Structure 1
Amino acid sequence: MAEHIEHFNPDKPLPIITYGLPFEDAIAKHLTTTLSCKHPYLLISGTLSRSTNIVDRLTKRLSTEGAEVAGTCVGIRSHTLYEDLLPILAEMRKTKADSIVVVGGGSLVDAAKVLSFALANGVDSHEGFDKLGGEASDHGKDGKVDIRKPSEIPYMCASSTLSAGEYSAFGGATNERTHHKQLFFDPSPDNAGHRVIVVDPRLTLTAPPSVWLSTGMRAVDHCVETVCAAEPKPEATAAALQGIRQMIPALLRSKKDANDLDARLQAQLGAGQSMKGVVVYGVKLGASHGIGHQLGPQGVPHAETTCVLLPAVLKYNARVNRDQQKLVLDTLWDEPVVSEALLKQAKLDRETADLGDALDVIIRLLDLPRTLSHYGIGRDKLDSIATLSVTDWMCKTNPVPLETPARVMEILEQCL
């Protein structure tokens, strides 16, 4: 298969999306030519490392292009803990790594973004990470200048899942001492955009089915919240609806046949579409993401927060964006693979079912968890989750702004 290269943002040279080549060929080619780097630090999926010879293949292929690996980290714990990042930062400084290459899932992708940003700002402690987090507006309060330095070294990602974080300048990492998940946003998105995204469906075959399908729903969440945003944009809506048309049929096909590489490729390309609203057009996401950031440290896998929250968030927001939700709902019904599942398998009524109902059915057909109780989270934990959630800016940009813990509680109560 020939290589295909697409510009994620048609107005900018980077990032680019490449597919058609084996991942090691694409990484070696674009690391040394597109990014002009020769000393990468590797972040590799533990699952891929244990079940394949990926590290050896990649290292040997890089050496043929004159690149020498600075260091390798195999596996990282979910939610990208500060205590896991600090030794990597120390090793990257010691070896003078000039880039980061990720082959793996969302936690490693988050690590790459946070590490690049932290490296530029001299972070070497938990307190340093906490000070680095937040948007530029958080660091420019009361007339102060945001003195954080933008990321300096580029990264490239060959993802094995569908969370699609590799398309965004946002990164998340968790202070395991406080259980607070902090968002990091490079103050210079153009600088953070110096990356290459490698798509190879064969890399996804070792992902556990629950991880593959739940991260796919996370990408669907990006699409849905883009269309249903407080301030939607036509171009963003068009990209998001295209992502939905690719993603959900592909996920249902993947559930039926885990070895369907075309379905996996379509899901990967749809995941890229899911991020255009946020990254290219600046649409603000909402509560499914905002509350989800705080469910993670409570033991809910990053992508599965969508499966628990999104239907409830949509029902809560329907008071202000029902027409936007109908755009998504009509798109689902117009896809034969999806409509068959909704109608024949779930016997959903198109005239009475809303978007929350439809997504509830799809999530259940994918055999993904739907409740907080599945993770041992009961009503006794909701107050603390709600209190933390209102500090997340994505709760503030929800179509119905979640300005008090009581409003978050209305959503959480539906998720028990």
Structure 2
Amino acid sequence: MAEHIERFNPDKELPIITYGLPFEDAIAKHLTTTLARKQPYLLVSGSLSRSTDVVDRLTKRLRTDGAEVAGVCPGIRSHTLYEDLLPILAEMRKTKADSIVVVGGGSLVDAAKVLSFALANGVDSHEAFDRLAGGVAEEGQKDARKFSEIPYLCATTTLSAGEYSAFGGATNERTHHKQLFHDPSPDNVGHRVIVVDPRLTLTAPPSVWLSTGMRAVDHCVETVCAAHPKPEATAAALQGIRQLVPALLRSKKDANDLDARLQAQLGASQSMKGVVVYDVKLGASHGIGHQLGPQGVPHAETTCVLLPAVLKYNARVNRDQQKLVLDTLWDEPIVAEALLKQARLDRETADLSDALDAIIRLLDLPRTLSHYGIGRDKLDSIATISLTDWMCQTNPVPLETAAQVKEILEQCLGE
């Protein structure tokens, strides 16, 4: 298959999406030509590092193009913990790495963004990370942050699609607070090259592949159902729905269906256009979800727990927008058959929350907080810290009190 390259944003040269080449060929080509870098630091998922020859293949291929690997990190824990990032920063400084290459999923994708930004600003402690997230590079200074200096690219193995955003999340494991980091550079575009190779995704555990696919669905749904929707963003998001949901159901049926995996990956790219290209603001599924992560809920699975409840809560103001998504789901034959014959839903009476609840259950993904040992006793603290996340304020029904957040969380207990 020949290489296919397209711009994520038609108005910008970068990032580009490339598929058709083996991942190692695409990475070597675009690292050394598109980005003109020769000394990458590799962030590779733990499963790929342990179970495959991905690191060796990529290292050899890079050498063929005159690049030498500065170092390798064989995986990090979920939610991109500060204590995992600090030793990587030290090694990158020591080796003078000039770029970051990610082969893996969401936590590593976030790590590349945060590391590049932190490296430029001399971060070497938990306190320095918190100051950087808060808009201050050094204590006593007012937003003296420096722009990221080294670029990063990725070949993703999951569908969370964070590679398309310039925002990166990392967690202070001491306070259990997940922070959002954003390089203030006007041309910051996140990962500059996104390599799509469905064969690389085969090692992702089924629950990770499917739950991150639902995270991409969440991007689409919250884009269409946003407080201030935009026509171009809605069109891209509905296209993402049409690609993602049938592909996830196909992947559940046959994990080796490479075309389904490719369609899911391309659908994930569509899911981020509303946020990144058209500046549509997401809502409470993401805002509350950011704070469920440190409580032990895997990043993508926060969608599976929260999204149906958030939709029920928001339906008072965006029912018509929700129906656009619902009709798109029912118009896809694979999805309609699953909803009708397997979930036994009635198209005339089931709402979007019902349909997505059914799809999540058909994918055998967790649906409740109780699944993670989170009970009613923790809801007050989760609700309070969730209010610090700006995506709760941009929810179609702005979340301004802990009681509002708690009302949503109550629906998710599953007791």
TM-score normalised over the length of structure 2 = 0.97
State the Cα deviation string for residues 213-268 of structure 1 (Å, max 9, x = none).
Answer: 00000000000000000111110000000000000000000000000000000000
The corresponding residue for 2:183 is: 186
The corresponding residue for 1:210 is: 207
CA distance in 2, matches of 1:188, 1:354: 42
- 1:372-383 to 2 correspondence within 5 Å? 372-383=369-380
State the Cα deviation string for residues 160-201 of structure 1 (Å, max 9, x = none).
Answer: 000001010010000010010111111125134461000000
RMSD of aligned alpha carbons:
1.2
Residue 27 in structure 1 maps to residue 27 in structure 2:
yes
Structure 1, unpaired ranges of 5+: none
- For residue 400 of structure 2, the aligned residue among 378, 383, 403 is 403
CA distance in 2, matches of 1:346, 1:177: 42
CA distance in 2, matches of 1:41, 1:5: 24
Which 4+ residue blocks in structure 1 deviate beyond 2 angstroms? Answer: 144-147, 191-194
The corresponding residue for 2:36 is: 36
SS at match of 2:229: coil
- 1:245-284 to 2 correspondence within 5 Å? 245-284=242-281
Give the total of aligned pairs.
410
The corresponding residue for 1:242 is: 239
Is contact 2:329–2:336 with CA below 8 Å preserved after alignment? yes
Instruction: Give the residue type in structure 1 aligned to 2:86.
Output: L
The corresponding residue for 2:347 is: 350
CA distance in 1, matches of 2:58, 2:115: 21
Is contact 1:152–1:191 with CA below 8 Å preserved after alignment? no
Is contact 2:103–2:155 with CA below 8 Å preserved after alignment? yes
The corresponding residue for 2:157 is: 160
State the Cα deviation string for residues 354-381 of structure 1 (Å, max 9, x = none).
Answer: 1000000000000000000000000000
- For residue 290 of structure 2, the aligned residue among 293, 300, 313 is 293
- 1:63-102 to 2 correspondence within 5 Å? 63-102=63-102
SS at match of 1:281: coil
TM-score normalised over the length of structure 1 = 0.97
The corresponding residue for 1:11 is: 11
SS at match of 1:190: coil
Instruction: Give the residue type in structure 2 aligned to 1:190.
Output: D
SS at match of 1:353: coil
- For residue 384 of structure 2, the aligned residue among 384, 387, 391 is 387
CA distance in 2, matches of 1:346, 1:98: 51
Instruction: Give the residue type in structure 1 aligned to 2:359.
Output: I
Is contact 1:151–1:192 with CA below 8 Å preserved after alignment? no
Residue 200 in structure 1 maps to residue 210 in structure 2:
no
Structure 2, unpaired ranges of 5+: none
The corresponding residue for 1:128 is: 128
SS at match of 1:33: helix
Instruction: Give the residue type in structure 2 aligned to 1:280.
Output: V
Is contact 1:14–1:193 with CA below 8 Å preserved after alignment? no
- 1:41-52 to 2 correspondence within 5 Å? 41-52=41-52
CA distance in 2, matches of 1:146, 1:349: 54
CA distance in 2, matches of 1:282, 1:161: 23
SS at match of 1:191: coil
CA distance in 1, matches of 2:265, 2:337: 23
Instruction: Give the residue type in structure 1 aligned to 2:286.
Output: H
Is contact 2:248–2:260 with CA below 8 Å preserved after alignment? yes
Task: Give 1:148 shift.
Answer: 1.5
